[in-house]
Chain A
Amino acid sequence: SQKIEQNSEALNIQEGKTATLTCNYTNYSPAYLQWYRQDPGRGPVFLLLIRENEKEKRKERLKVTFDTTLKQSLFHITASQPADSATYLCALERGRNTGKLIFGQGTTLQVKP
């Protein structure tokens, strides 16, 4: 069956360090992968999208990689700040051009000052 896995344990890092979050998937051939941020009591907020033919995407302090051979995406936050503390969700489209997103369980990041 199709499955998306993210580190279920919280990630604790020191301010200024780089945070790296992992998203692994099985039995998918997604055309793209998305990353969202969710703060407590709020809805997810879109951050980045990377397509299957892209190896890397950057946006300010964020970087996403996509390895379709390993079936893995890595999400990096450089020069992390306490304000980056949140839960980060990866999402894949089920099928092609279906519009149906399947979300991972999310990884909670805590950046300590």
Chain B
Amino acid sequence: DAGVIQSPRHEVTEMGQEVTLRCKPISGHNSLFWYRQTMMRGLELLIYFNNNVPIDDSGMPEDRFSAKMPNASFSTLKIQPSEPRDSAVYFCASRTALAYEQYFGPGTRLTVT
């Protein structure tokens, strides 16, 4: 199994630009989570999906952030427009309905200048 796949691994962009982060969960996992990690705030849950449906987006910081899951094998997190304070590592994680542990991807390191 390839594990959770995220792309790109690194993204550097200028303030105001649109950024799209991508995630492919582990096959057969029906829950998908997007997290953001910074030194100041640690690992924070942004949004999660069950069976492709967004269940809770209360962690999404602002309307500039949006996430979609068009099918069971793909999700995107979009930031438009991006700001320097969005600089962080963004992780995607997935899990099955039968277990509590989550499997994390390698993360996308986003730098907004």
Contacts and interface: CB of A to CB of B under 8 A. Distances in A.
A44 B56 CA distance: 21
Given A43-B107, A44-B43, A100 B100 contact: no
Given A43-B93, A105-B42, A99 B103 contact: no
Nearest to A46: B101
Given A43-B91, A89-B43, A103-B42, A98 B104 contact: no
Chain B interface size band reads 20 to 34
Q: Which residue among A42, A99, A100 has the maximum number of chain B CB atoms within 10 Å of its CB? A: A99
A43 B45 contact: no
Contact of B107 (A42, A46, A102): A42
Contacts, number: 47
Interface string B67-102: 000000000000000000000000101010000111
B56 A98 contact: yes
Given A99-B31, A103-B42, A34 B101 contact: yes
Given A34-B100, A43-B93, A93-B100, A101 B42 contact: no
Interface of A: 32, 34, 41-46, 49, 89, 93, 98-106
